[in-house]
Amino acid sequence: MEQKTVDASQRNEVVEQILKQTKDLRELFLIGLRFYVEEQYENAIAIFSYIEPRVEDIDVYFKEDMYYYEILSYIRLGQKEQAVKKYEVYKKLYPSGQYIKELSAYFK
């Protein structure tokens, strides 16, 4: 499978188009997850960052997963400071979350 090289401005346009066309938060989460799986971490972060404030006060099944993949995206990009900040938020929201143990290994 050939992977296209896309510059940052094209990536931003892709994400902007997705955000304009898609209002369903679950669908956006799945798009962000697909970006993560395809190692397009900047796009994954853009999608998850868009979703985060919109699910802050509602209970959706994918919220914990969203934080997990956002943190991992920052880690994969070598942005440890951002990963730590997001991890601290995650720990407050999910003190006994399913990913606490795994994620804590990155921050020792």
Tens digits of pLDDT across the chain (108 residues)? 333 444 555 557 777 788 778 778 899 999 999 999 999 999 999 999 999 998 988 888 999 999 999 999 999 999 999 999 999 999 999 999 999 999 999 988
pTM exceeding 0.85: no
Which CA distances in Å does 64 have to 68, 70, 89, 93?
6, 10, 11, 9
| CA quadruple 78, 83, 61, 94: dihedral, nearest 10 | 150
Share of the chain above pLDDT 90, in %: 66
Name, in order, each residue with C-beta under 8 angstroms of 78's C-beta and a sequence gap of 6 or more.
Answer: none
Q: Answer yes or no: CATH 1.10.10.10 is held by domain 8-107.
A: no
